[in-house]
Amino acid sequence: MDQRSFEQIYEAYKNAGEQQAIQENGDNSPLTNTGKEQIVAVRKNDDGDLIAFKTDTGRELDYITALNDAKAGKLAHVDVFHKYGRDILRSEPDGIKENNLDRLPDF
């Protein structure tokens, strides 16, 4: 197989996964109503790092507050993992690129 064939197979696999995630989650709207706040916008520094978050209730959270809220289970559809010697906030991997933290609108 040539490189292009590998890429085509992988792209088809990714697209099928995204479509399946959309079907499982309804549409591109938030997954299910969990009663938790959801991050709807982000603020980045000049290096493109996420430094603050805005929730669907209008709260604006600095990075540390968002981490603590996520650890406490107060934020929907985000995970906290430990890497590079620190805790990092990331989108819950659901197969939908549009709701990844890095792709949310700026505030």
Kindly state the DSSP code that residue 94 receives in the 8-state scheme: -
Distance CA 15, CA 65 (A): 34
Q: Which of 32, 31, 36 is nearest to 73 (CA)?
A: 36
**Residue 30: what pLDDT?**
46
pLDDT, one tens digit per residue, over 60-76 is 999 999 999 999 999 99
Could you tell me the pTM of the whole model?
A: 0.69
pLDDT, one tens digit per residue, over 7-61 is 898 888 877 877 776 666 554 444 445 689 999 999 999 999 999 999 999 999 9
Q: Would you call 38 exposed, middle or buried from its count of C-beta atoms within 10 A (0-12, 13-18, 19+)?
A: middle
Enumerate the domain spans of the chain.
1-21+36-89
